[in-house]
Amino acid sequence: MLEIKNLHVAVEGREILRGLSLSIQPGEVHAIMGPNGSGKSTLSYVLAGRDGYDITEGSITYNGENLVALPPEERAAKGVFLAMQYPVEIPGVTTMTFLKTALNSQRRERGESDLDAVSVLKLVRAKAKTLNVSEEMLKRALNVGFSGGEKKRLEILQMALFEPKLAILDETDSGLDIDALRLVAEGVNALRDPSRAMLVITHYQRLLDYIVPDRIHVLARGRIVAEGGKELALELEAKGYEQLVKEPA
């Protein structure tokens, strides 16, 4: 589904990713772990199509298509979803209006008809309930005055609503207490599906207790330095990153 080959990415002339390769099949959950500054967030932004990230070498293929050539909105319509580490606050746009606009934009791009306000509301309400997203939150301006946990829950609500094929979760655990983390993880696990791939990006092993990955990749200095099954997370927790990310002699 997703094939990243020898990816080099520079931001403002500084190389952040230096030859990253990664392959994810439908139904798989992969985790990317790594210390601060290893390039984790850069990878998530590059996959979602943010401006300012220059791909200097390598390729990203998504379902056989060159992902790099597509603007962010087309990637979204084709099923790429990034749950962001810091969801933005947009005063003046209600959460519900935003959800409806986004959902219908994706549908339109795929040649599907718009859903009316009532249908969207029904759909959102059904998903909101399990994620403990209140009616009141949906009426408020997007993310404005939301707690860290509320923002992350809303990200997962969007993931449930848009039903992406490739979901990237960027530090979804950051800023969450254990109850909030459990709730978010349950939301994510409910969306595990044989047709859906997930890439979970995290600094800490903690999240992977709840969202158990099929495969773990350790990112350091812009490339994958170690790979393994879920037991690798425990090893990292015990030994720390230092040993793994040491410059090769």
Residues 134-153 interacting with another protein (rule: CB under 8 A): 141
Choice between 86 and 193, CB closer to another protein: 86
Q: Mask: binding to another protein, 162-181, rule CB under 8 A, as x and -?
A: x-------------------
DSSP per-residue letters across 7-76: EEEEETTEEEEEEEEEEE-TT-EEEEE--TTSSHHHHHHHHHT-TTEEEEEEEEEETTEEGGGS-HHHHH
With both helix axes pointing from N to C terminus, report the angle between 178-190 and 148-162 in degrees, rounded to the nearest 10: 0
Q: Mask: binding to another protein, 108-127, rule CB under 8 A, as x and -?
A: -x------------------
Are the C-beta atoms of residues 171 and 152 closer than 8 Å to each other? Answer: no
In terms of Cβ atoms closer than 10 Å to its own Cβ (0-12, 13-18, 19+), residue 231 is exposed
Choice between 158 and 205, CB closer to another protein: 158
Residue from 2, 67, 76, 124 touching another protein (CB under 8 A): that is 76
* Rg of the chain taking only CA atoms, in angstroms: 18
The verdict on 246 binding another protein (CB under 8 A) reads no
Residue from 12, 14, 36, 92 touching another protein (CB under 8 A): that is 92
Choice between 123 and 141, CB closer to another protein: 141
Residue from 19, 58, 72, 148 touching another protein (CB under 8 A): that is 72
Residues 42-71 interacting with another protein (rule: CB under 8 A): 48-51, 71
The verdict on 77 binding another protein (CB under 8 A) reads yes
* Cα separation, 154 vs 158, whole angstroms: 6
Strand order, beta sheet including 53-62: 14-24, 2-11, 53-62, 65-66
| Sites of contact with another protein (CB under 8 A) | 48-51, 71-73, 75-77, 82, 84, 87-88, 90-93, 98, 101-103, 105-106, 109, 141, 158, 162
